[in-house]
Amino acid sequence: MNEPGRVGGEEPISERLGGPAPSQPKKPGGFADLGPRVISAVVLVALAVAALVAGGDWFVLFWMTASLAINWEWQGLVGGERRFVRVALGGAGLAVAAAMTHGGEVQPGLAALVLAAAASAVVAGPGRRLWAAAGVIYAGSLLVSVCLLRDSPQAGLLSIAWLFAVVWGTDVFAYFGGRLIGGPKLWPRVSAGKTWSGTLTGAFSGALLGLAVARLADPAGSSSFAVFLVSFVASAVSQVGDLAESAIKRRFGVKDSSQLIPGHGGVMDRLDGFIFACVFAALLGAARGLASTAAGVFFW
């Protein structure tokens, strides 16, 4: 039987991550990483907002690039055989999905993702097949969802601006709330730094900011309470996404998905919450059957 803190008989996760042993927890609070985080965040926000405003092919290109990076990081994270082939297969599926979804052909785009995921699973080798396929689906879910929302003829730009407000607001206020208030940990076995105070601060702040953005746009027929509730759920879902990626990284014994973004780690580390919130919004909007996917998020 493995010793506590070991995965598959390997060295303790804390040692592989370069962090302190469980008997030597890190001191709470502190803002030592704030500088690099802020600089990286400003650059990323500027690029994301520019792509949102530009719309069209520029928007799709921006998010396809992010999705390609996510699949590349994921395939490296889970290991297994023929990583380059898996990255190439996933990239081809993502490119087709982007083109088809942006052109209004959602089902063929989803089919391309499924085929690319299946092909990645075949070449991944034993023990990594499901993980390799999941990476393509994970990256593709972001790409398809964000295109469906932005390309909506009604409230398309608003839907992405709203997601930015909810997810970014959640991240920022959870970060400061957790460090300034402190208190009990949310789920220390999965994420050692997250606290209940930060989680709740982030959820309510993200919901309020999401409501504020929706109210500024003032879509006719929308209910403030409904939009606040949807924003709150989206904020909570985004934090579930953060925890889910933390669990995956802990499963494979790594601290960050990559080092592409100073202060944040990899693209997956930066977009984990946004992916979950975006998929939630797209599924909710599509399920309501209104004039567009984005309209289903706001008109109640």
Check whether 263 has a pLDDT greater than 90: no
Of 92-101, 144-153, 190-199, least confident by mean pLDDT is 190-199
How high is the pLDDT of residue 179? 85
Q: What share of the chain has pLDDT > 70, as a percent?
A: 87
What is the Cα–Cα distance from 81 to 75, expressed in whole angstroms?
A: 10
Q: What pLDDT digit, counting tens, does each position of 202-211 carry? A: 999 999 999 9
Tell which wins on pLDDT, 93 or 12. Answer: 93
Check whether 7 has a pLDDT greater than 90: no
What is the Cα–Cα distance from 121 to 86, expressed in whole angstroms?
A: 8
Check whether 177 has a pLDDT greater than 60: yes
Average pLDDT over the chain reads 87
Of 10-24, 133-147, 192-206, least confident by mean pLDDT is 10-24
Beta bridge partners of 185: 195
How high is the pLDDT of residue 32? 57
What is the Cα–Cα distance from 206 to 143, expressed in whole angstroms?
A: 22
* Banded model confidence at residue 36, pLDDT cuts 50, 70, 90: confident
How high is the pLDDT of residue 148? 96
Check whether 15 has a pLDDT greater than 50: no
Check whether 23 has a pLDDT greater than 60: no
Q: What pLDDT digit, counting tens, does each position of 124-136 carry? A: 988 899 999 999 9
Q: What pLDDT digit, counting tens, does each position of 61-112 carry? A: 999 999 999 999 999 999 888 999 999 999 999 999 999 999 999 999 999 9
Q: What pLDDT digit, counting tens, does each position of 279-295 carry? A: 999 999 999 999 899 99
Q: Which amino acid, one-letter code, is at 54? A: A
Beta bridge partners of 191: 187
How high is the pLDDT of residue 1? 43
How high is the pLDDT of residue 48? 96
How high is the pLDDT of residue 256? 86
How high is the pLDDT of residue 112? 96
* Banded model confidence at residue 220, pLDDT cuts 50, 70, 90: low
Tell which wins on pLDDT, 166 or 5. Answer: 166
* Banded model confidence at residue 31, pLDDT cuts 50, 70, 90: low
